Structure formats: structure tokens, C-alpha cells
Amino acid sequence: MTRKQKKSLIRILAAAALLAACLILRRFAALPWWAELIAFAVPYLISGYDVLLKAVRNIAHGQIFDENFLMSLATVGAFAVGEYPEAAAVMIFYQIGELFQSIAVGKSRKSIAALMDIKPDHANVIRNGETITVSPEEVAVGELILVKAGERIPLDGVIESGSTVLNTVALTGESAPREAQPGETVLSGSVNAGGVIRIRTTGVYADSTVAKVLELVERSSEKKARSENFITRFAKWYTPAVVAAAVLLAVVPPLLFHGEWSEWIHRALIFLVVSCPCALVVSVPLTFFCGMGGASKRGILIKGSNHMETLAKTGIAVFDKTGTLTKGSFEVSAIHANGMSRAELLDIAALAESYSDHPIARSIVRAHGGHLDPKRAGEVEELSGLGIRAVIDGKTIHAGSEKLMESLGITPFCREGCRCGSGACVHVASDEGYCGHILISDEVKPTSAGAISKLRGMGIKTVMLTGDAAPAANETAAALRIDEARSGLLPAGKVEAVEALLEESGKRKVIFAGDGINDAPVLARADAGLAMGALGSDAAIEAADIVIADDDPVKVPLAVNISKRTLRIVLQNIVFAIAVKLIVLILGALGIANMWIAVFADVGVAVLAILNAIRAMKTPNE
């Protein structure tokens, strides 16, 4: 409990004790009206002076119809008609509700606060042979930093010396530490749980993973869901409407039907107390905030509550294949040459692919394992989505997909009778014709099948989009029991496929999960884009609506589950609050409900709605 909350609690307890004393005194002693007024005004002012000040201040600024105004009007009116104990009690209970709200918001912020703690305080940079401590913002690209055991890594970089174990729970939600060796990339915000390491920075602090995550979290509350916007608009019109209704309730019956002024004013005051929209205005945004906080603890960073609402209405889940459902760690599994030896085919393919950063290209270079003389290569051109063209030893070499071969008028064939559906094929052709192909295999992630199964269990259609050939795509789709697979797609083709699915889905939403390397256009086009393991990718974080800090596909159904649960709690709070208030408003207008029932309809409902909202912090296990 914060210092401010403790002060509020002390004020509430003091006011409650004084109110109890006044009630006892009133029972055993006959006090004149002015003495009772002063006696009950003391606990009232102790508990509610700040509410009165806020109401006056807001009226001065033209902001009349808020909960402070309603509560001040109702309680001052109660004093005016001689309901002194009720006025003091209403204010005390209102402050109890505000305290509960404050504690609930503080609790829901803890997970966000824990995430904000990933910001490093300093960096130990090695300059001129000396280690000096500076702010992370002062470290330049390419500088060498030293990270001791227990310290947070301040900037993204590559380990130059030393091996360690990294704790990435604050970034990914994954509690199991991972080993890191020289040459491996490390992300800022991770904790060095092992030995001393030296890291060569690959970017400035402003572009680091930790800076991107903090910016993402800070912006997450800016985008409101339709439910939140509805409540904001509802409160804007609801509050002046109930004030007008209360005035009519107080004035019309005495003027037109000869009712007792004190009786109808009392009913109007009860009407005002009940009408405070605290339960709705507080609990709905609080529920979304709790849901996003709970998701962040599991390594799922949601940019706004509007995206939670979209996830909850998912009808079609679309996945990229490579790096999302599969590990993306390609290995050469077969080399089938035509008119040359396997070694010669691998040699020219590796030299051509050495100019590409694509994972398949890197796997071919890795399989070659030998020295690649750059002097042998002339002009090199990367053909987007197709492959690469290079002049090697004076000959033009094309290496890439079957579509690339078709564009050259070459029909791939295999003398060894291989079945190339078990992986991706890199076809190679030269000026002299077809040279053969290299078979690349990519292993499916162990959690992919479970993720697809969970989505299907929710009634969500699953679709896989890939640039791979149909045999490889169909084999993966069959292994994972994916409903539909579309293969041979270039980046533009993936966007077209998602647009077609958007038309098919109707009112249900289409989400897309990709690894963030080249999926930015599709992430942006889907109703909600989920970037997998893309904390280091600028394009992914900008284009995606949800960032899954690690690359585990099972986080996709988990994100949908969390969002569905959050939306259920929001709906429960809306229905419960409106139903109770409508019932008590009618009872109050008919003279059946008293001020104590009105207090429950306002403060009691708000407290119950807040407690229900906190449940959104607890995320399902799967």
C-alpha cells in the first residue's frame, strides 16, 4: 500500500470512528439540530473534503457532470433535508470504494512496473583499455561493453568474449534461462545470470530492444477498445441525463401532484447517489489494463485494448510457415547434381548464396564449410521472393525457387528420383542449362501442433501461408492438421491471401502470426498482427499489434484465450452494474429504496466490479 493510500485509509477509519461516536451520542442525548449538523459534518468533511474541492474546481473549469459533482450534490442535499448520518455515511463509503479502486489499479500496474524495470541504469563501456560507467544513451554503435554477473544487458549486441546464462523472463515470459556463447546475439533487458561477458554493440540505446519494449508498453493504453469508447460516450451523456431526471423527480411531484417536498427531494438524492457511473467508468478500462498486464507477464505485449477485443473475436488464424511454425534453422539434407559433381553444385550455389542473408542461403553456405573466394563472383543481384542471380567464373548462375526456373524457361528434373516434397528446394541453373538442386529441411517446432490443436478446439480456422513449393507446404500442413495451406506465395501474394480471408471471415476477425523478418505488410493488413520473437525487429514492432516476445506458437492461442477471458469479465461488469443501478433507480424513484441501498448500488457495485476486474490479471495456464 502506498503512502497516499495509507493516508486515505487513516482518514476513512477516523471518519468512521467519529460517525459511530456521533450515532451513539445521538441515541443517548437529545441534541439541537445545529449541534447534530456540526457533529456529523466533522466526519463528513474529514472523509470527503477532497471530493468537494474537486467538484468546485471542476465546475470552475466547466467540467460539471462528473462523479465528484454527483456525490457532492447528493450529500450536501442530504444535509439540507436533515439526513445527516446518511450524508456522512455515503461519503465514507464512497471513499472506501475509491480506496479499493486505487489499490486495484496499483496491483494491476505491478506487472507493467516489473516490465518497466528492465531499463538498465548504466553501461560499463571499455574505452582506451579502461572500463568506465556511463548512461546507456552515451554508448555508440560498435563499442565494447562489459556486463558483470547479475547486471542487465544495456544494449543489443554480439558476445565477443565469455560465455554465460541469460535470464530473459522480463522480455519473453520464459523463466528457463538460456546459454549464450561468443558470437551469439543478445538483447538488452536480459539479465546476465552467469559469468562476465564482453559485448560488441550493434545499435544505439534508442534502437535497442529494451527501448522498443518500453515504448510499446507506454503506448499500450492509448488505443481503446470499442467497449471502453462506449463507456466514455455513455458517461458523457448519462451523467447530465440523470441530474436532469433527479431535478424533475424532486420538483414535478410536489408542483403538479401536491407531494411532500422533503420526501421527493430525498428520493431525488437517492437517485443521484445510485446514478454515479463509478462501476462502469472504473472497472471497464481497469479490466483491459489487468488483462494486458497479465499477458505481459507471459511475454505477450499487446499494444492496446482494441487489439484484445479483436483477438477475442478471432475466426481465422493465419500463420507464416518458416520461423513461425518451423524452427527456421535450415539444414542441407540432399544434393542432386546434373552434369557436374555434388561438390561442384554446392560450391557454385554457396558462392551465389553467400551474398544473401536468407536463412536458406546461410544453410547452404554453412553446408559448404570451405573458403569462398569473392574474386570468383562478378555481378550479383537478389531477386525478391525468387532467388539470386550471380556471375561466377564468368558464367551466369541462377539459384532459387522453381518459379525462378520457370521464368528462365527451365524445367527442373531429377535423375535420382528424389521426392522433393520433404523440404525446400534450391534449384541451380547456369548458361549451359539445369545444374541440379539442393534439398533443404526445416524442423517443425515442438509446440506448433499443440498451438494449432488449441485454436481448432476454439472453433478457429487455421491457415498457413508460405513461399515454399506445394509438396513441402502440404506435408507440414498435414503434420500439424492445419485446415488450409497456400504455397508458392511471394510477400505480395500473402497480402492478397489475407485480403481474401478477410472477405471470407465476415464479422469474425482474421489474425496473422509471422516471424517479423519479411512479414510486415501482412502483419499490418490483418485485423490483428502478431509478431513472433521479433523484439529486435523494427518493422515487426511497428507493423504488429501484438508482439510475442519469444517465438513459441503456443502463445497465439494463449493470447486469444486471455483476450476472450478479459472480454467476458468486461461484459460481466457492464451487465451487473447497469442491471443493479436500473433496479435501485426504479426502487428509489418509487420510494422503496433508502439511502443505504443507494450506497450499495453505487459503492458496493463499484467494489465488486473492481474485484472482478482484478481476475483478468490471472492468465490461463495454456
Name the H helices within 154-208.
Answer: 169-172
Exposure of 400 in the CB half-sphere (CA atoms within 13 A): 24
For residue 142, the tally of other CB atoms under 10 A from its CB is 10
Q: Count each helix (H run) and each strand (E run) in the chain, helices first.
A: 21, 22
Distance CA 309, CA 289 (A): 12
Three cell numbers at 362?
A: 546461410
Distance CA 100, CA 91 (A): 14
Long-range contacts of residues 240-244, Cβ cutoff 8 Å, at least 24 apart: 240/64, 240/65, 242/70, 242/271, 242/272, 242/275, 243/65, 243/70, 243/73, 243/272
Task: Please say whether the beta carbons of 109 and 293 come within 8 A.
Answer: yes
With residue 399 as reference, give the H or E element that holds it: strand 395-400
358: Cα separation from own chain's centroid: 29
**Which residue has cell 546464462?**
165
For residue 270, the tally of other CB atoms under 10 A from its CB is 32
Distance CA 9, CA 5 (A): 6
Three cell numbers at 450?
A: 499443440
Exposure of 550 in the CB half-sphere (CA atoms within 13 A): 23
CB proximity list for 239: less than 8 A, separation 6 or greater: 65, 66, 67, 69, 70, 275, 277
Three cell numbers at 503?
A: 472477405
**Which residue has cell 536463412?**
359
Exposure of 83 in the CB half-sphere (CA atoms within 13 A): 21
Q: Coil, strand or helix: which one is 546?
A: strand
Which is nearest to 609 in space by CA: 104, 75, 8?
104
For residue 35, the tally of other CB atoms under 10 A from its CB is 13
With residue 397 as reference, give the H or E element that holds it: strand 395-400
**Which residue has cell 544487458?**
153
CA end-to-end distance (rounded Å), the chain: 31
Distance CA 343, CA 413 (A): 19
Name the H helices within 298-372.
Answer: 305-312, 342-353, 359-368
Catalytic residue among 66, 320, 515, 551: 320
Which is nearest to 481 in space by CA: 460, 501, 497?
460
Distance CA 79, CA 82 (A): 5
Task: Please say whether the beta carbons of 304 and 529 come within 8 A.
Answer: no
Q: Coil, strand or helix: which one is 554?
A: coil
Distance CA 179, CA 175 (A): 13
> What is the side-by-side order of every strand in the sheet holding 191-192?
178-180, 164-167, 191-192
Give catalytic status of residue 320 as yes or no: yes
Catalytic residues: 320
